[in-house]
């Protein structure tokens, strides 16, 4: 039992000075720390941008699906209305007139849907461009921070030889 306590005491005494003694911060270590910090910030920023783009894409998909379903429901309702009117028509001329009217209504609805889709695409592109501007701005901020740290590091390196003399 005494030997175990003695061994533990010797081990703790021999380890403590090694742990307490820290290496002085030199230029290379500071530069390495700056580089690692910047890499971590860039990686975090990239991950955030990826998540934002993914959310935007999912939002666009959901909106497109919702509008598609609404347009499909309108087209089905128009078709059912036309079928009912065709059954109620007495003469072939009346059926032909109803059929032509229904076709023109359907074509007008398809054109309106196409125009709406084009407008949504333009709005989506504007949103994507705005997000791109935000991304560029954040990258510029990170680059400015990196340049400031580099300047500080160069200044520190410039002072080291003077301090050594």
pLDDT at 73 over 70: yes
pLDDT at 126 over 70: yes
| 28 vs 63, higher pLDDT | 63
The pTM assigned to this predicted structure is 0.58
Q: What integer pLDDT is reported at residue 155 of this predicted model? A: 81
* Burial state string for 39-56 with b = 16 or more CB within 10 A and e = fewer than 16: eeeeeeeeeebeeeeeee
Residue 77's pLDDT band (cuts 50, 70, 90): very high
Helices (H), the chain: 2-20, 27-88, 92-164
Q: What integer pLDDT is reported at residue 5 of this predicted model? A: 53
The mean of the pLDDT values for the chain is 82
Other CB atoms within 10 A of residue 141 CB: 11
Mean pLDDT within 66-82: 94
Residue 82's pLDDT band (cuts 50, 70, 90): very high
| 1 vs 28, higher pLDDT | 28
Closest CA to 56 of 102, 125, 117: 125
Helix axes 92-164, 27-88, angle to 10 degrees: 170
Closest CA to 37 of 153, 154, 137: 153
Cα separation, 157 vs 82, in Å, equals 83
- What are the residue boundaries of the structural domains of the chain, listed by start? 55-133
């Amino acid at each position: 039992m005494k030997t175990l306590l003695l061994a533990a005491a010797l081990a703790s005494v021999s380890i403590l000075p090694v742990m307490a003694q820290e290496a002085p911060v030199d230029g290379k270590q500071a530069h390495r720390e700056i580089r690692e910090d910047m890499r971590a910030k860039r990686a975090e920023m990239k991950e955030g941008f990826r998540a934002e783009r993914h959310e935007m894409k999912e939002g666009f998909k959901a909106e497109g699906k919702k509008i598609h379903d609404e347009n499909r429901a309108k087209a089905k309702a128009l078709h059912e209305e036309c079928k009912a009117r065709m059954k109620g028509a007495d003469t072939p001329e009346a059926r032909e007139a109803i059929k032509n009217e229904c076709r023109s209504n359907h074509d007008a609805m398809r054109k309106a849907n196409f125009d709406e889709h084009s407008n949504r695409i333009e709005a989506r592109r504007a949103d994507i461009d705005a997000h791109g501007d935000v991304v560029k701005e954040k990258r510029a901020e990170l680059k400015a921070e990196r340049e400031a740290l580099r300047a500080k590091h160069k200044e520190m390196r410039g002072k080291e030889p003077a301090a050594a003399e």
